[in-house]
Amino acid sequence: MHSYLKHYIDGAWVESEGGTKHAVINPATEQAVTEITLGSQADVDKAVAAARRAFESFSRTSAEERAALLDRILVEYKKRANDIADAISLEMGAPVSFARTAQVGTGIGHLMAAAKALRAFEFSETIGNSIVVHEPIGVVAMITPWNWPLNQIVSKVAPAIAAGCTMILKPSEEAPTCAMLFAEVMDAAGVPPGVFNLVNGDGPGVGTALSTHKGVDMVSFTGSTRAGIAVAKNAADTVKRVHQELGGKSPSLVLEGADLARAVPGTLMTVLMNSGQSCIAPTRLLVPKALQAEAVAIATEMMKATQTGDPTQEGRHIGPVVNKAQFDKIQGLIAKGMEEGAKLEAGGPGRPDGVETGYFVRPTLFSGVSNDMTIAREEVFGPVVTIIPYEDEEDAIRIANDTDYGLSAVVFGSPEAIKRVAPRLRAGMVYVNGGAPNPDLPFGGYKQSGNGREQGKYGLTDFMEVKSMVGALA
């Protein structure tokens, strides 16, 4: 078993003050593989104090100094890419091939995008006889999830560094080792002491301590909507900024005339590639009623052909979901779908045939789903897709928007149809004819999917305050 029992505070690995040990479980074997220390209030206080001290000098560094620091972090990150991928595969179950390319690759993209945005950013603007400037917001607490662990860490750390902020990271206790390795990357790159700090912990402990702390100026949180609400409430008493990227229940609209042979596999692949554990996964596949049977045939074949397997092995299979709680939740929602009358086309309850150990979920497809069914409304976070038939374009738009969430949407169709439909979708991101996330573009959602944006220029501005120097040029 690997042991990472120290926290990274003020440029050094330090013992916890009153923390408790926590075992990290491999979801493929159900065995403990790592132990960490869940931190204490004292650990958080120490990290916040270090970040506040470091802010005094780091906030005054030049944009080029910070861009050069991001460049050095990228160099060190690439050196540890395989180690990070192995840790992600071991602790959250992503197949190692996918972990090396997608999971680790997103971190590279965010570091490059942040440096690019920083070098192009205009920190001051003249308005009449006054000057408006952007300044770093201060000390940022970062609370990140397990599903894309390095993606969500780097998408926060990189723009915070670029803005001139200092930070305390609390990674998910479900997949913490990649964060510990990232702390080693930051140390090797020469990040000044106190600029980046890491305190392991769970939400009720370290998460609450950070979100309520009067020495923290901003909380950047990624996770469930339920947990995001708790963070916002905890932060309210100190009136700190709260940036949230929360849940999703994304639609994929296949419009009349779209190529089903491209749209259906494209939608399913986006759901399956991380065992459904992606906030933007388009799990609601909306198709014209007259084409439902054809869409079902294509989707069923693909779902039945999808293999599950050992995440440490190379290949195109999918791995388990992250833990027993997630497995049980998914099983409950599959059962609910069957109970409410959705037609099961592939997969279903239980583990795949012949699998007795690990939190593996059968790739599952429902058809004939109505948007009021539980399976169409709750975020499953597993390899489960629902096909929802619609009457016409207006009906498709209504169904797509009929959700508490608004993180993303996908639209397949002609350029003319896309121009009509995409602007009417209540989502922070619309992927046209598939597409892929771009680290230069803003990432974030509407409604209960959160507020604020990450990535590129917009991610940079979300870590800044705006100051008016009135009459400065008079």
Look up 245 and say whether it is catalytic: yes
Residue of 173, 174, 245, 345 marked catalytic: 245
Q: Is 221 helix (H, G, I), strand (E, B) or coil?
A: strand
| Residue 308: partners with Cβ closer than 8 Å, 6 or more residues away | 317, 318, 319, 320, 352, 355, 360, 361, 362, 363
Report how far residue 26's alpha carbon sits from residue 437's, in angstroms, rounded to the nearest whole number: 28
Q: Residue 13, exposed/middle/buried by CB under 10 A (0-12, 13-18, 19+)?
A: middle
Alpha carbons 467 and 359: distance in angstroms, whole number: 50
What are the start-end ranges of the E strands in 331-460? 343-346, 364-367, 384-390, 405-406, 408-412, 429-432, 446-447, 450-451
- In 3D space, the residue among 184, 193, 222, 213 whose CA is nearest the CA of residue 48 turns out to be 213
* Active-site annotation holds for 340: no
* Burial class of residue 256 (count of CB atoms within 10 Å of its CB; 0-12, 13-18, 19+): middle
Q: Which strand ranges, in their side-by-side order, compose the sheet holding 343-346?
A: 343-346, 364-367, 384-390, 284-288, 251-254, 408-412, 429-432
Cα separation, 73 vs 316, whole angstroms: 30
**Torsion angles phi and psi, residue 412, rounded to 5:** -110, 130
Which of 371, 379, 315 shows the shortest CA–CA distance to 342? 371
State how far the Cα of 456 lies from the Cα of 440, in Å rounded to an integer: 4
Catalytic residue, chosen from 165, 173, 279, 379, is: 279
Residue 91 contacts residue 33 (beta carbons within 8 Å): yes
Residues 6 or more apart in contact with residue 149 via CB below 8 angstroms: 88, 92, 103, 171, 172, 175, 178, 179
The set of catalytic residues is 245, 279
